[in-house]
Amino acid sequence: MQPASEANQRIARISAHLHPPNFQMEESSGLRRANCRAKGAAPGFKVAILGAAGGIGQPLAMLMKINPLVSVLHLYDVVNTPGVTADISHMDTGAVVRGFLGQPQLEEALAGMDLVIIPAGVPRKPGMTRDDLFNINAGIVRTLCEGIVKSCPKAIVNLISNPVNSTVPIAAEVFKRAGTYCPKRLLGVTMLDVVRANTFVAEVLGLDPREVDVPVIGGHAGVTILPLLSQVKPPCSFTPQEIDQLTLRIQNGGTEVVEAKAGTGSATLSMAYAAVKFADACLRGLRGDAGIVECAYVASQVTELPFFASKVRLGRTGAEEVLPLGPLNEYERAGLEKAKQELAESIQKGVSFIKK
Ligand SMILES: NC(=O)c1ccc[n+]([C@@H]2O[C@H](COP(=O)([O-])OP(=O)(O)OC[C@H]3O[C@@H](n4cnc5c(N)ncnc54)[C@H](O)[C@@H]3O)[C@@H](O)[C@H]2O)c1
Ligand SMILES: O=C(O)C[C@H](O)C(=O)O
């Protein structure tokens, strides 16, 4: 027989779900319930997704709910989080899920988070560049980063919102102004470029993509996406025509999806996969696992630019080491010069947005 108090608690928990209050109210009672349920939850990290009801946000939330390193998952958006949260919270995995709706709940959504993943913002339509998203997404990223400053200044931030080449400098400026900036904790997510590169190279080589590792450096837009095909693992060689075609396809991977989706958005499912792959690497680094190396767009001294994507070693404090680029061939050196020109402008645009 259960003691009466425990039985009463169980009944209260079940009836709270049978008669759900509106979402605002659920936040207070939801926290109470979640605290009870957290007893049974696996130990792990607290992760928030900002933009969780979007095309990337929803599958990303689902995949993070499955991740055994996550004990608490906060889903924040300006629309539709009640439905997404209710849906995902029924999955019988360890993480406790809580939803937060609208800016008044941003600070609560972020309180105490170890990792914040940001896929909030508008996506491209055919004919647009990622930079065309700047006017809307820059302000969204600024607001969300101001929330991070207040509620979880020590969290690792994975920034997905485009144009990444500019939104990462925007985030850095917001954190600098608040005095909370730590370059190791701010990472622009370029993992989708690596995922695509691995897939396309594996296709050409006739290999399983899981066996292929292609470093992709620079940034996350057009010519700033620079795959280092001379450094592919396992070691291999390509004809000059294959190098041209592969480089172009990797640089245009995003546009390929935007065009195929014909006005309904950009990559969401492959991006959610890439975001989880990257977030999982960050969490394993936070846990103290050794030898976690992934490409990301971070504060960097490997070139004269203040931000650059390259391989970084992830650890307990975030991007603990930015690794050197390694030897580049002539084709890659020429690509690097082009990438740096465009990157310099995008970085400056982001910095000026906050400084103006
Ligand atoms: N880094 C990458 O490799 C990569 C890959 C794909 C897409 N993206 C970018 O990710 C972003 C999101 O893409 P999507 O397809 O999920 O778009 P989407 O429109 O489907 O979803 C975006 C979500 O953000 C939410 N949102 C808008 N303003 C917000 C705010 N102020 N606070 C919180 N949430 C807010 C929206 O309500 C929506 O649910 C776009 O900018 C896109 O370009 C980046
Ligand atoms: O291409 C886009 O606009 C979305 C994203 O940056 C991508 O690479 O798929």
The residue whose CA is least distant from atom 3 of ligand 2 is 124
- With a cut of 90, say whether residue 188 has pLDDT above it: yes
What's the 236 CA to ligand 1 centre distance in angstroms? 37
Only one residue has tokens 């990462």, namely 168
Which member of 17, 19, 74, 220 is catalytic? 220
The strand ranges marked E within the chain are 45-50, 70-77, 96-101, 115-118, 156-159, 186-188, 216-218, 225-227, 292-299, 307-315, 318-322
d(CA 178, CA 51) in angstroms, rounded, equals 23
d(CA 200, CA 263) in angstroms, rounded, equals 24
- One-letter amino acid at 344 equals A
- With a cut of 90, say whether residue 6 has pLDDT above it: no
pLDDT score, position 159: 99
d(CA 311, CA 278) in angstroms, rounded, equals 12
* Residue that wins the pLDDT comparison between 281 and 35: 281
The DSSP annotation for 338-353 comes to HHHHHHHHHHHHHHHH
**Contact of 224 with 339, CB cutoff 8 Å:** yes
Looking at the CA of 50, name the nearest ligand. Answer: 1
What's the 242 CA to ligand 1 centre distance in angstroms? 33
pLDDT score, position 230: 98
The DSSP annotation for 114-138 comes to SEEEE--SPPP-TT--GGGGHHHHH
ipTM of the complex: 0.99
pLDDT score, position 25: 27
**Contact of 174 with 132, CB cutoff 8 Å:** no
pLDDT band at 34 (very low <50, low <70, confident <90, very high): very low
d(CA 65, CA 85) in angstroms, rounded, equals 11
Instruction: Report whether residue 265 contacts ligand 1, using a CB cutoff of 6 Å.
Output: yes
**Contact of 141 with 159, CB cutoff 8 Å:** yes
Sort 302 into a burial class: Cβ within 10 Å, 0-12 / 13-18 / 19+.
middle
Instruction: Report whether residue 151 contacts ligand 1, using a CB cutoff of 6 Å.
Output: no
**Contact of 211 with 202, CB cutoff 8 Å:** yes
- With a cut of 60, say whether residue 252 has pLDDT above it: yes
Query: DSSP character for 42?
Result: P
Q: Which atom from ligand 1 is nearest to the alpha carbon of 76?
A: 33
Q: Can you tell me the mean pLDDT for 210-238?
A: 98
The DSSP annotation for 154-190 comes to TSEEEE-SS-HHHHHHHHHHHHHHHT---GGGEEE--
The residue whose CA is least distant from atom 11 of ligand 1 is 161
**Contact of 279 with 292, CB cutoff 8 Å:** no
Mutate which of 266, 271, 278, 295 for ligand 2 pocket (most atoms within 8 A of beta carbon): 266
The residue whose CA is least distant from atom 1 of ligand 2 is 254
- With a cut of 70, say whether residue 312 has pLDDT above it: yes
Q: Can you tell me the mean pLDDT for 93-110?
A: 98
pLDDT score, position 9: 72
Which residues, at least 6 apart from 234, have a Cβ–Cβ distance to it below 8 Å? Answer: 207, 211, 212
pLDDT band at 37 (very low <50, low <70, confident <90, very high): very low
Instruction: Report whether residue 220 contacts ligand 1, using a CB cutoff of 6 Å.
Output: yes
pLDDT band at 47 (very low <50, low <70, confident <90, very high): very high
- With a cut of 60, say whether residue 261 has pLDDT above it: yes
322 forms beta bridges with 312
Any catalytic annotation for residue 220?
yes
* CB count in 10 Å sphere of residue 144: 27
pLDDT band at 356 (very low <50, low <70, confident <90, very high): confident
pLDDT band at 1 (very low <50, low <70, confident <90, very high): low
d(CA 80, CA 257) in angstroms, rounded, equals 25
b/e map 230-267, b = 16+ CB within 10 Å: bbbeeeeebeeeebeebbebbbebbbebbeebeeebbb
